[in-house]
C-alpha cells in the first residue's frame, strides 16, 4: 500500500446538552477527522482531543501541526505502508499519542478495507454487540442529576458513571444509590481532581458499592494511586496515567489500579490498546473502553475493541443520540442496552457526505492533494 494523500477535515458538532467535568464544560465537539488515501483504499479516523489542552497536553491545532510536519512525512517515506509500521516509523517523535493514534487508525482503516476485513475480526473480537454504559456530567443540582440518570436508565443503559469533583461527590452518589438501588452498576470518574490528602474523604465512597473510582489523583502518579488503593476498598481504575502496555504492567504490579480504562486514542492507537488488553487480561484485571465524546467515526472502532474478551465491564460506548442530535455517520442506536459491533470492512463506517459538509469548518491537505 502506498500513501497518496492525507487530509484533515475540521468539524464542529453541537452536543445535545452541555457536558461538564472537573476540566470544564463542553457544548460542541470541535475536532478534526483524518482522511487517508492510498493506492488501494481510503481510511478515516477522528482526533479525540479538544481545541484546548485541558484534558491532556494535546489539542486540535497542535495535532495538525505535528501530523503535517513530523508524523505524516515519516510514514510517507515507507516503501510499503501498513498500520503495523506506523508506530515504529513515528517512534522518534516523543509523545503526541493522540495524533499518532489518528494516523495509525486511518491507515489501519484503509488497509483493512483493501483486505475486505472488519476491524473487529482483525483485533480478535468475540462478541457481536457490547453492553453500553453512559457518562453523566456534573450538574447544577442533585434533582437535575437524578432526572438525567432516570432518563438514561429508561433508555436502556446498563451502567451509570458519574463525574465527580471536590464538593460534588459523596452526596450525589448517595442520592443516586438511594433513588435507584444497590443493584445499579455505578462508578465515578474524578478526572484527576483529588490529592492523596483526600483519601479519608474518598473512603466515604466505599459504602456505596461502586464498581470503581476512575483516576482520582493527578495523572502518572502510580505511587500515589497505590497508596490510595491501600486506604480505600473501592477499586481504583486508571485512565490518564496509562500510556502503554508497559505503564499498565507497572501499575498492576504496584497495585495502583485494579481496573483499567482503555482509551485507544490516549495510548497511540488500537494496536497498543490491544496489547494493554492482553496485559491486563493475563493478570486477571478487568478492562473497559472509555469514551471521549466521539462521533461515529471514533465510536465504531471503539466498539470493535470493546468486543475483545477482556472487556468485562460496560464502557462509555454510548449511542450517538447521547451526544448528538445528528451524527456524521449513520447513528449507533441502543438496543436492549447494547450497541452492535460493526462488521463491514475497516472501521465499518464512513462520514455521510451531506452531513459532513454541513458540519465542516475547514479542509486542508497535509500530504499530496
* Dihedrals phi, psi of 44, to nearest 5 degrees: -130, 150
**Structure confidence by residue, pLDDT tens digits, 239-283:** 999 999 999 999 999 999 999 999 999 999 999 999 999 999 999
Q: Which has more pLDDT, 64 or 369?
A: 64
Q: Which pLDDT tens digit goes with each residue over 119-155?
A: 999 999 999 999 999 999 999 999 999 999 999 999 9
Q: What's the pLDDT tens digit per position in 32-55?
A: 999 999 999 999 999 999 999 988
By the 8 A CB rule, do 287 and 275 touch? no
Instruction: For residue 150, give the C-alpha cell.
Output: 432516570
**What percentage of residues in the chain have a pLDDT greater than 90?**
96
- Contact predicate 220/241, CB 8 Å: yes
Cβ 229 vs Cβ 251: under 8 Å: no
Residue 220 has pLDDT above 80, yes or no: yes
The residue annotated as part of the active site, out of 100, 139, 161, 163, is 163
Q: What are phi and psi of 20, to 5 degrees?
A: -110, 135
- Opening angle at CA 307, ends 303 and 308, nearest 5: 130
Question: And the C-alpha cell for 46?
Answer: 477522528
**Mean pLDDT, all residues of the chain:** 96
Say if residue 309 is exposed, middle or buried (CB neighbours under 10 Å; 0-12, 13-18, 19+).
Answer: exposed
DSSP code of residue 319: -
Region 199-223 average pLDDT: 97
215, three cell numbers: 483516576
**pLDDT value at 17 more than 80:** yes
Confidence band for 21, pLDDT divided at 50, 70 and 90? confident
How much is the pLDDT for 274? 98
Q: What 8-state DSSP symbol labels residue 39?
A: S
- Long-range (24+ apart) CB contacts under 8 A made by 27-30 are 29/293, 29/294, 29/295, 29/323, 29/324, 30/60
The residue ranges of every structural domain in the chain are 3-116+351-367, 121-340
Neighbours of 361 (CB within 10 A): 10
Which CATH number does the domain 121-340 belong to among 2.40.50.180, 3.20.20.120, 3.50.50.60, 3.30.1050.10? 3.20.20.120
Local confidence band at 25 (pLDDT 50, 70, 90 cut-offs): confident
Active site residue 163: yes
Residue 2 bears catalytic tag = no
CATH topology of domain 3-116+351-367: Enolase-like; domain 1 (3.30.390)
Question: Which DSSP symbol is given to 68?
Answer: I
- pLDDT, one tens digit per residue, over 171-197 is 999 999 999 999 999 999 999 999 999
What confidence category does residue 102 fall into, taking pLDDT thresholds of 50, 70 and 90? very high
Worst-scoring range by mean pLDDT, 50-59, 63-72, 161-170, 256-265? 50-59
At 369 the pLDDT is 64
Amino acid at each position: 500500500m502506498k500513501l497518496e494523500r492525507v487530509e484533515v477535515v475540521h468539524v464542529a458538532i453541537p452536543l445535545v446538552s452541555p457536558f461538564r467535568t472537573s476540566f470544564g464544560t463542553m457544548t460542541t465537539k470541535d475536532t478534526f477527522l483524518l482522511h487517508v488515501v492510498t493506492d488501494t483504499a481510503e481510511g478515516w479516523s477522528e482526533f479525540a482531543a479538544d481545541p484546548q489542552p485541558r484534558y491532556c497536553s494535546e489539542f486540535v491545532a497542535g495535532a495538525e501541526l505535528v501530523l503535517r510536519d513530523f508524523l505524516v512525512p515519516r510514514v510517507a517515506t515507507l516503501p510499503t505502508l501498513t498500520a503495523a509500521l506506523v508506530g515504529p516509523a513515528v517512534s522518534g517523535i516523543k509523545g503526541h499519542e493522540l495524533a499518532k493514534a489518528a494516523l495509525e487508525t486511518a491507515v489501519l482503516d484503509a488497509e483493512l478495507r483493501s483486505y475486505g476485513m472488519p476491524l473487529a475480526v482483525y483485533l480478535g473480537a468475540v462478541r457481536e454487540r457490547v453492553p453500553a454504559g453512559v457518562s453523566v456530567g456534573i450538574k447544577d443540582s442533585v434533582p437535575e442529576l437524578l432526572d438525567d440518570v432516570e432518563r438514561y436508565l429508561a433508555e436502556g443503559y446498563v451502567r451509570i458513571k458519574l463525574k465527580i469533583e471536590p464538593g460534588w461527590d459523596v452526596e450525589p452518589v448517595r442520592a443516586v444509590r438511594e433513588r435507584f438501588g444497590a443493584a445499579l452498576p455505578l462508578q465515578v470518574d474524578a478526572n484527576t481532581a483529588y490529592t492523596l490528602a483526600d483519601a479519608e474523604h474518598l473512603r466515604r465512597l466505599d459504602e456505596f458499592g461502586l464498581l470503581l473510582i476512575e483516576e482520582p489523583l493527578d495523572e502518572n502518579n502510580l505511587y500515589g494511586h497505590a497508596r490510595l488503593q491501600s486506604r480505600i476498598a473501592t477499586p481504583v481504575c486508571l485512565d490518564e496515567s496509562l500510556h502503554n502496555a508497559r505503564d499498565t504492567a507497572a501499575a498492576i504490579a504496584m497495585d495502583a489500579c485494579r481496573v483499567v480504562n482503555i482509551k485507544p486514542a490516549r495510548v497511540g492507537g488500537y494496536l497498543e490498546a490491544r496489547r494493554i488488553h492482553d496485559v491486563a487480561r493475563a493478570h486477571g484485571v478487568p478492562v473497559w473502553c472509555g469514551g471521549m465524546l466521539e462521533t461515529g467515526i471514533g465510536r465504531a472502532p471503539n466498539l470493535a475493541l470493546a468486543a475483545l474478551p477482556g472487556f468485562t465491564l460496560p464502557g462509555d460506548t454510548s449511542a450517538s443520540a447521547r451526544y448528538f442530535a445528528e451524527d456524521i455517520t449513520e447513528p449507533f442506536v441502543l438496543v436492549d442496552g447494547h450497541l452492535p459491533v460493526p462488521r463491514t470492512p475497516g472501521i465499518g463506517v464512513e462520514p455521510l457526505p451531506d452531513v459532513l459538509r454541513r458540519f465542516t469548518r475547514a479542509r486542508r491537505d497535509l500530504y499530496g492533494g
